[in-house]
Amino acid sequence: MSQPARNSAEEDAPLKGHSFDGIEEYDKKLPNWWLWTLYGAIAFSFFYWFYFHWVGNPESTAQRLDRRLGEIALAAAASGGAELDNAALWKMSRDEKVVADGRKTFLTQCVSCHGADLKGGIGVNLTDKDWIHGGNPTEIVAVLTKGVLDKGMPAWGPVLGKARVAQVAAFVLSHHTEGEEIRIVPSPTQSATAPAAAAAP
């Protein structure tokens, strides 16, 4: 059998000295364009890692996921297209924008009874583990929505709407930790002294 023709470049390239099934390999240098592509990819990957994981994007993948899920849940609540569950409300409580919006509403509507620090006054303390009507996220939303009329707290659902109620609940939950103890305590015997219009969740 005749040997295949070899071009001039192959003539100048030495063989590596090993053979497999009669196939030999030339010891040839890789083309410069291929090498520069490899080096460029290595450099790009380093700067990409440095920027997105250390400098330019402080959010982790899990944090971005939590934020996006919170945004989706809030949008669904605002449109009335879905009911919020405990998991969605906890995610919203870790979203800085949702919590900030909830804080604005709280300081406008709720601060006169619960205080700017949420530690109570006319209304109850919202930062401890004692809850009268339940401390699960959906129970907090229910209290905000329906109110506690015999204690002077109005139903905020018709006033604020689903989205803002969820934001206030997320703000309250941001002062708590998911899975923490919830102690159900009896309601204080004395009636609230503040007028209903000024009462808060």
pLDDT digits (tens, 9 = 90+) for 84-136: 889 888 988 888 888 999 999 999 999 999 999 999 888 899 999 999 998 99
Q: Which of 87, 91, 84 is nearest to 65 (CA)?
A: 91
Q: Does residue 105 or residue 61 have the better pLDDT?
A: 105
Mean pLDDT calculated for residue range 23-49: 91
Number of Cβ within 10 Å of residue 7's Cβ equals: 8
Instruction: Name the phi and psi angles at 25, rounded to 5.
Output: -115, 130
Q: Where residue 199 falls among pLDDT bands split at 50, 70, 90?
A: very low
Q: Where in the chain do CATH 1.10.760.10 domains reside?
A: 61-198
Tell me if 139 sits within 8 A of 149, measured CB to CB: no
**What does the mean pLDDT of the chain come to?**
82
Identify the band that residue 41 occupies on the pLDDT scale cut at 50, 70 and 90: very high
pLDDT band at 29 (very low <50, low <70, confident <90, very high): confident
Q: Does 80 have pLDDT greater than 70?
A: no
69-96 core/surface letters (b: 16 or more CB in 10 A; e: else): bbeebbebbeeeeeebeeebbbbbbbbe
- Tell me how crowded residue 15 is: count the other CB atoms within 10 A of its CB: 11
Predicted pLDDT of residue 139:
94
Assigned superfamily of 61-198:
Cytochrome c-like domain (1.10.760.10)
The pLDDT value given to residue 198: 39
**Lowest-pLDDT range of 11-15, 82-86, 169-173:** 11-15
pLDDT score of 26 more than 90: no
12 pLDDT more than 60: yes
